[in-house]
Structure 1
Amino acid sequence: MAGTPAGELLTQAVGALVAEIRDGREPALADEPDAVHQLRTSVRRLRNVLAGFGRYVEKRPARVLRGHLASYGALLGAGRDLEVRAEDCRRVLAEVGRTDLEPALVAPLLAAHDGAHTVLVDWHASPDAVALDRLLARWGDEVPLTRRAGRRADRVSTKVLDREVRRVLDRAAQGETSHEVRKAARRLRHVADAVGERDLARLGKEVQGRLGDHRDALLLAGHLWSAGAPAVVVAHVEAAASSALDGLPEALDALRRVHGI
């Protein structure tokens, strides 16, 4: 990477992610196992790479593409989140020996997921879907780079990763379990993956994963409570939400040490 321009690195990373999004669409629309999750992840990765390397791509085209990707990601997320909640709910009911509650607690989530998937399929026949396809084709052919993209990729990557690590730690200082910390950690993970920095990607994933599990458990507890689940079931999920945060301070400390902060 030492003698490679940052623009070349970015072009390769963006091209690969555009291809992933295109290839992932058909399985996702067929609702194949894990396909929506994989497509959503590819969309998030591209958004985060563009954000992390924002100084090295043209601002206006990047802002337009990121806006379209955000809307698309939200559409994918609507069904995926319901799918995850249904899976988690079924698992929890098995753990507490109350599978008899599945028709009341899991079935509505699955029905809502099916409705969200129908919306997703219909969206792909819309003008917004056509606009996104055109943008992806354009970026897949040529990434609109700035002059800074001519700088050495290794130096640019070090600078970008330093900024992303500080972004995670600054948000953690304001509230360790916040939604913003989770998003910052996810962006660090995706940017680190794009430049092959496995240690930072792993730490970003660990922070993101712990906070993601915490959030999913809280959302599930809310669903169970509003659906009238027994208190023992809700308490079981709340305990899981708390334990999901075990090790989070250590993960953040490791992030500080790896990056010398």
Structure 2
Amino acid sequence: MSARESIEVELKLDVDADQPAPDLAGIAPGATTAAPAVYELNATYLDTPGHDLAAHRITLRRRTGGTDAGWHLKRPSHHPDARRELAIDFADAPADGGVPQAIREAITVIVRDRPLIPVAEITTERTVTLVHAADGAVLAEFCQDRVIAHAHQSQLTQEWAEWEFELVEGDAELLTVARKRLRAAGARKASSASKLARAIGAEPRAHKPARLPKKPTALDLMVHSLATHRDALLTWDPLVRENAFDAVHQMRVTARKLRSILTSFPEILDPAAIAGLADELRELGEVLGQARDREVQLEINRGLLALEDRVPDDLRKALIDDEIARQERSLRTLRFALSSARYLKLLDDLDDAIANPRPGPDADRGAVDVALAGMEHAGQRLRKAQKRLDLLDPWSDEWVEQVHRIRKRAKAVRYTADAAKPLRLKAAKKTAKRAAVIQSHLGDFQDTVVNREQIARVAALPGLSPAAVFVLGRLDAREQTRGRAAVQAYLDRV
């Protein structure tokens, strides 16, 4: 199925009906305008019965007419005037008129197992004027819209007029000039973020963590932290499905932070009410971890071979081509897991823990007291592991395993301290920073441990060329030196 992803950067402004549009010729040096073209656009907007997509500022429509008929999914972008648009032509969509699979996957984390139903019908009479640069390139598209919208739930029909100015090859400066010129011609700030939002009334709002009160309870902090990371999980999920840069890593970290909050402060919420939630988050972290480990290993392998003047073909296949195949398999497994009923239930359980928290024994305690106690407990476990290391023979298997345990406990300290950061505690910031340093140095060492194990496995492959074995020996020596340097850097800090 062919899908087009783009960033839509546009101005949306309200105007009175029949408001004369300004002449946009000369809006940029040498800019001219083409003759207007008129289209009739008919769109059906879909959402869940509870308007879950609208609550996350997402719109899904099936539209006929105009130059881009088909399915369109619009999602927020980091820029206030921009939205991400996923478009699929009817020719590439299901013949039965159902929602295309690529779009379903992009909104699974929001929609889950809830049905998608028509929530509004919107007809737009659109007059389009293209703005051309001196060389003929299209800088922008100016749309004058007459809109008739009917909302299914309220049975309300509305009519209004609006202007849209969308960049094509123009830049941010052109958008600024256009805003001034259109406002001067009588346009006003848009009353809603989208046609759908205006059609269905007040746009629903997704849950956003409320600001903590001056003296928050432990329950206040718990709900705030869970909501913050739940929202991050919802953000990273569709990016993971697209294999966007760093998305797997960030979603894995988010899952681990959610689990750390629950395990570091086990008595804030009723243990019976959240039974199994931490375990499910651990399972999610593991399946994300498998994909992330393959991603990291491929990056490391490329870095190792980049230092070599000559790389035998069989070694490149073993370290690069075979690793790419393993990464692709892990990504397929991950996408399957993110569409499973188990994962969707985890999301529902998280939502319930946030919206309907069942208080535990520590719920009414002061958030500061509980946070400090949690950091102290995590710190004690870290220090205990560090003392244990002194009793072991350096570089023995048991010693290496203990170093790995120290790294994991430093990570737990960091996540526990991060959970306390909304309280603006200096101790939390310092603790997290110290733990991050330990985690970084020992993480580098752990990478070399894994890399050397991989090098040994590849070296044992039957039929490997002598040249490949020689290069592997050199790579192993280099990783050994790097690993020892990472451990020394850690020891110098403790």
TM-score w.r.t. length of structure 2 = 0.49
**Pairing 1:74-223 to 2, within 5 Å after superposition:** 74-100=286-312, 101-175=315-389, 177-196=402-421, 197-223=428-454
Q: d(CA) in 2 for partners of 1:98 and 1:52?
A: 49
Amino acid at match of 1:205: A
Deviation at 1:124, TM superposition (A): 2.3
Would you tell me which structure has more helix in proportion to its own residues? 1
Structure showing the higher strand proportion among its residues: 2
Preserved contact between residue 304 and residue 475 of structure 2 (Cα < 8 Å) = yes
**Residue 479 of structure 2 aligns with which residue?**
237
| Greater displacement, 51-60 / 159-168 | 51-60
- Name the aligned partner's letter for residue 371 of structure 2: S
Letter of the 2:272 counterpart? R
Partner Cα distance (2:410, 2:273) in 1: 25
Please state how far the C-alpha of 1:157 moved relative to its aligned partner. 1.4
Structure 1 residues 98, 44: CA separation in 2 closer, same or farther (over 3 Å shift)?
farther
Deviations along 1:175-218, whole A, 9 cap, x unmatched?
37433222111111011011111110011111112221111111
Partner in structure 1 of residue 285 of structure 2: 73
CA 1:147 to 1:117, structure 2 compared with 1: closer, same or farther past 3 Å? same
- Structure 1: gaps of 5 or more residues: 254-261
| Aligned-residue CA RMSD (Å) | 1.8
TM-score (normalised: structure 1): 0.90
2: CA distance, partners of 1:87 / 1:98: 18
Q: 3-state DSSP class of the match of 2:362?
A: helix
Cα offset for 1:23?
Answer: 1.5
Q: Partners in 1 of 2:244 and 2:442 — Cα distance?
A: 27
Identity %: 22
- Matched residues in 1 for 2:388 and 2:242: separation? 42
Q: Distance in 2 between matches of 1:63 and 1:234?
A: 45
Question: 1:109–1:164: structure 2 CA closer, same or farther, 3 Å change rule?
Answer: same
Q: Which residue of 2 aligns with 1:256?
A: none
The size of the alignment, in residue pairs, is 252
Q: Give the AA of the match of 1:218.
A: V
Aligned counterparts of 2:486 and 2:310: Cα–Cα separation in 1: 22
**1:217–1:120 Cα change, 3 Å:** same
| Compared CA separation, residues 203 and 63, structure 1 to 2 (3 A) | farther
1:130 Cα shift?
2.4
What does the per-residue CA deviation read over 1:23-58, in whole Å, with 9 as the maximum and x for residues that have no partner? Answer: 210001111010000000000001111111112222
Alpha carbons of 1:140 and 1:225: their partners in 2 closer, same or farther (altered >3 Å)?
same
Q: Which amino acid aligns with 1:198?
A: K
Contact 2:274 2:353 in 1 (8 A): no
What does the per-residue CA deviation read over 1:126-160, in whole Å, with 9 as the maximum and x for residues that have no partner?
Answer: 22122212212212323333142211111221111
- Which amino acid in 1 is paired with 2:405? E
Contact kept, 8 Å, 2:294 with 2:323, in 1: the verdict is yes
Q: What are the ranges of 5 or more consecutive residues in structure 2 without an aligned counterpart?
A: 1-212, 391-401, 422-427, 460-468
Q: 1:140 to 1:19 in 2, by over 3 A?
A: farther
- Greater relative contact order (CA < 8 Å, ≥ 6 in sequence): 1
* Counterpart in the other structure of 1:257: none
Secondary structure of residue in 1 paired with 2:267: helix
Contact 2:375 2:416 in 1 (8 A): yes
Of 193-202 and 1-10, deviating more is 1-10
141-150 or 95-104: bigger deviation: 95-104
